[in-house]
Structure 1
Amino acid sequence: MYKVVIADDRQLIRAGLHMLLDSCGLYIVAGEASDGNEAVSQSLALVPDLLLTDLKMPGQCIIEGVRILKERLPNIKIIILTAFDESEDIYRACKAGVDGYLMKDTSPETILSTIQEVMKGTSMFQPKENKLYWTRENLL
């Protein structure tokens, strides 16, 4: 079982992701956060295997949070689930060490399969414009 922290400023999104992760029996949602500061502090306190986070939330910039988390928790996997697909955001996230980048309109099945691949060590980036996965090597 993988321990997960979910971070999104919308409670409905957090609840939906919690239900999705509970449905497959491979994940334990250890914590939830509603802003960037909470995402970092919850992750540092709970030491999850995965942080599933929105890109743009109140509080600390999640990209800077990713840098902090990757430095202090080198084994953590981080997937951004967002509505923003600007190439600069994707590039910045990749440079910071994010392991995955998905759009919020992604199907639940694809979210789960992406999480599984990321947990195996594969980087998965899905820009909205073509719905094809990129790897970190393709982006950098």
Structure 2
Amino acid sequence: MKYNVIIADDHLVVREGLKLIIETNDNFQVIGEAANGEETLSLLESLTPDVILMDLNMPKMSGLETIKELKERNINIPVVILTTYNEDELMINGLELGAKGYLLKDTGREHLFRTIESAIRGDTLLQPEMMARLLAARNKRHDEQDTSAEKLLISEKERIVIQAIARGYRSKEIAADMGISERTVKAHLTNIYNKLGVDSRSQAVAVAIERGIVQRDLRKE
């Protein structure tokens, strides 16, 4: 079975480069390309991708606007944002809207495939250096705000779970590491969602970053 991919980016060279890389893997095929959000939504009228690779800054309709529109239309197609090194605030906004992950436009082939596969599974996979940047952006935004009261909303076990999610671990791996059942991990996740007012892992990670719950050591061991 091949997974279908749509690439949305206003730069032809980026689209063509990603397409060449993606189609070296027999598990994926690019079924559509778009130069802006409007074209992306138009493609979805006739195509059903398993994942969309979405640039943040596009003319006519940006990536963030498109993600928001997908959410409003209840179109539950995983989105992975294509980003550069100067879009940290936009990346946080994208996570809050439900994006499943981020890819730097010069990312390596293997990480590209791992991120796409993770998004299709419904997981969130973020590179450690990307998470460090998001944390730095959060610290800059909130350097004069006291988030200690917000941190108290999350129990220590819940903090461990959301930290592991941010590092790319799956529920089964978290359960094994904590010595609890996968069902208990999912119960912790439900509590986290309720406390943070979110309904997905990616949104939970975004809010955890915002509130300083996720710490800086984010390397998956």
- The normalised TM-score by structure 2 is 0.56
The higher radius of gyration belongs to 2
Higher relative contact order (CA 8 A, sep 6+): 1
Matched, 1:43 2:44: yes
Is the Cα–Cα contact under 8 Å of residues 44 and 69 in structure 1 kept in the other structure?
A: no
Q: Distance in 2 between matches of 1:58 and 1:32?
A: 15
Residues paired across the two proteins, number: 140
Residue 33 of structure 2 is matched in structure 1 by 32
State the Cα deviation string for residues 66-108 of structure 1 (Å, max 9, x = none). 1222343543110011114443212210121211112223212
Residue 95 of structure 1 is matched in structure 2 by 96
CA distance 1:77–1:53, shift in 2 (3 Å): same
Matched, 1:138 2:202: no
RMSD: 2.4
Taking only the aligned residue pairs, the percentage that are identical comes to 35
State the Cα deviation string for residues 1-57 of structure 1 (Å, max 9, x = none). 111111111111111111111111111211101122112221343121111111101
Matched, 1:19 2:11: no
Residue 3 of structure 2 is matched in structure 1 by 2
Residue 115 of structure 1 is matched in structure 2 by 116
Query: Gaps (5+ residues) in structure 2?
Result: 135-164, 167-200, 208-221
Q: Distance in 1 between matches of 2:123 and 2:45?
A: 23
Structure number having the greater helix percentage? 2
Residue 76 of structure 1 is matched in structure 2 by 77
Letter in 1 for 2:50: D
Q: 39-48 or 14-23, which moves further after superposition? A: 39-48
Aligned residue for 2:52, secondary structure, equals strand
Q: Distance in 1 between matches of 2:87 and 2:59?
A: 19
Query: Gaps (5+ residues) in structure 1?
Result: none
Q: Distance in 2 between matches of 1:49 and 1:73?
A: 15
CA distance 1:45–1:96, shift in 2 (3 Å): farther
Offset of 1:124 from its aligned partner?
2.2
Is the Cα–Cα contact under 8 Å of residues 77 and 119 in structure 1 kept in the other structure?
A: yes
